[in-house]
Amino acid sequence: MLMVASQKISSLLLALFFIGTTVVSATVFTLQNSCSYTIWPGTLSGNGGAILGDGGFALAPGGTSQLPGPPGWSGRFWARTGCNFDEAGNGKCITGDCGGTLKCNGGGQPPVSLVEFTLARDNTEKDFYDVSLVDGYNVGLGVRPSSGSGNCQYAGCIADLNGSCPKELQVTDPASGSVVACKSACAAFNTAEYCCTGEHSTAATCPPTQYSQMFKNACPTAYSYAYDDASSTRTCSVADYLITFCPTTS
């Protein structure tokens, strides 16, 4: 197996993996900050996979960063906001914090908007991806595939849900009092009905609620609750992906 990779690349980087007679190219994730403020993207890899971008880094307004994802990689990306780190990388973020460190050692603390991927192991399989609001919302988020084949649809949440968030779901900045995130109903109320647990642990017994429907109406291509697969999961083959924070168009 031959893999050529780096933590950050400024031009298109291809890594070739030889699996039998099948040549598999690494997927390139391009993270783009279209927000008017600095964000600190966090990354989390599943199943002991490669840690992309050292787990987290700063991304200035208008900035981009490219990360190579090896075949079979699964994980998630999200934006942290209002962060303050010292020279050793220790600190905290107002939203999306991941253990008080620049380089995340776990997932983002809800409420946080997520983009999730499971990449194909070879060219005969498909990538699966989605934008999820199941853990709430902090910033707009979109993912657009390029150079792929198949359905390859855009997924995302362009709407400003912080501006329309019901008071009972709001998270505010202690310093400014402004709404910085919108909780899921599960996080706000912690009941089986909203969390799809216990007697509500199946698709048949956990239909959309007024809160998840609010998220769905605002962001039709994003996951709004646990059983929202049909209208939210996307697939594509042999693609690269542009992940935009605070997108202005789909």
Query: pLDDT at position 48, please?
Result: 83
Q: Which amino acid is at 51?
A: I
- List of E strands, the chain: 16-19, 22-25, 27-33, 40-45, 64-69, 74-80, 84-85, 91-92, 114-118, 127-132, 141-146, 155-157, 170-172, 179-182, 234-236, 240-245
Query: What residue has token string 């993912």?
Result: 143
pTM of the full predicted structure? Answer: 0.87
Could you tell me the residue ranges of all domains in the chain? 16-161+220-245
Q: Give 144's strand partners.
A: 242
CATH of 16-161+220-245, one of 3.30.420.40, 3.30.1330.40, 3.90.600.10, 2.60.110.10: 2.60.110.10
Average pLDDT, rounded, for the chain: 89
Position 26 pLDDT exceeds 90: no
Q: pLDDT-derived band of residue 8, with 50, 70 and 90 as boundaries?
A: very low
Position 36 pLDDT exceeds 70: yes
Of 16, 84, 31, 38, nearest in space to 243 by CA: 31
